Chain A
């Protein structure tokens, strides 16, 4: 059995891994794990990955979780073009810096925007107060400002003139609030232009395909009560 990637394209980190593997023609078996059906909590999946998380990579006996770890593993093992994760020390440090910052900043706020706007109220039937939603969207706004002012600035891509893992992780994260109906690019022409460049580099067909699931977020049906019961505690721990 070759490389297996356990993914649900509902999840932002899964999308980044999927796009990266496909873009670089990395051969893999796609194993879909549907989070909204609680499939990640099944006994079968626990045998594959005791952490019960996606994305997960299985390469022979080696199982790996955490999207940044997976992306870097794929980068090194399959010797992808240098611009994704440059060999040059300082250029690479810039990517490491972004990948570290994003986890507790952009990712967090993009996740909360989607969950507070759509997933809790519509899918899980858990109402979210207007105050909480407003705070969440305000925090997202602050983070987008940092993304533009401290990372993108006047560069073509987040860490330099070429696309890197930083851009892929960022764009897939931003698709969470976009899919929830947040018009994040309206007043941010620089960021909008960057997003177009990233999509063009990835290739629009692949980008659209990876985002097919999340773009339907506005129309997700309510979850089954039994599934909701299983998901809610873990979701609460994740959203925090």
Chain B
């Protein structure tokens, strides 16, 4: 069995991994895992692994964490240097971005799917103050991203497209898919997005984002699977963790 990627394209980091692997023509078996059906905790992931996606399986080797997966794929398949530059300082900038991303983007940009779709799906209440707080956190992160992180550069970690841009863009697209255009009134971010998508290809982006771009419509049309009862408890715990 060759490389397997266990992904749910509703998840931002899963999309980043998917887009990267497809863009670089990395041969892999796609193993879809539907989080909404609780498949990640119902045996769809390799035995003994952490029950999270994205997950990579390469023979016996199992790897979690999108950043680690992207770096592994970059090195193993010897993709173009710009993705994860060999140059000492250029590579440091990618990791510097990933550190900032962990504090300000990860977690924060995923909240909207939970508050707008998943909580209502299971009939769980969402305190309005959590929504307000999250919106403020998103706004603050976007401002920092545009003014300090991106600044006058073409891409987040320097003059060329890197893993950083891929991970960041899919997080921002999560909020867009849930109905808020984060690029409106942010011309530098909008231009950056244009550059990233031009490099990746519109078709590939559209394909990866199919499920998430459809989610509100599916929710409204009651077409989303009802999460299994035993999974509800975990979802409630996840909701309680929203600051």
Using a CB–CB distance below 8 Å, which chain A residues touch chain B? 50-51, 62, 64-70, 72-73, 76-77, 89-90, 92-94, 96-97, 99-101, 103-104, 139, 146, 150, 237-238, 240
Contacts and interface: CB of A to CB of B under 8 A. Distances in A.
Residue among B64, B76, B92, B106 facing the most chain A CB atoms (10 A cut-off): B92
Given A69-B96, A240-B243, 5 more contacts: A64-B96, A93-B61, A96-B72, A97-B64, A103-B106
B99 A65 contact: yes
Contacts of B76: 89
Nearest to B106: A104
Contacts of B223: none
9 contacts: A64-B96, A68-B98, A69-B93, A89-B75, A90-B72, A97-B63, A97-B68, A101-B65, A104-B106
Contacts of B98: 66, 68-69, 100
Contacts of A73: 88-89, 92, 95
A101 B92 contact: no
Interface string B58-72: 000101111110011
Given A77-B88, A89-B75, A96-B72, A103 B63 contact: no
A93 B106 contact: no
B50 A146 contact: yes
A62 B243 CA distance: 36
Interface in B133-186: 137, 140, 148
A237 B71 CA distance: 29
Interface string B89-111: 10111011011101100110000
Nearest to A51: B148
A100 B68 contact: yes
A104 B71 contact: no
A93 B68 contact: yes
B79 to A, nearest CB: 14
A97 B106 contact: no
List 5 tightest A-B contacts by C-beta distance, closest first: A66-B99, A69-B95, A96-B68, A100-B65, A103-B102
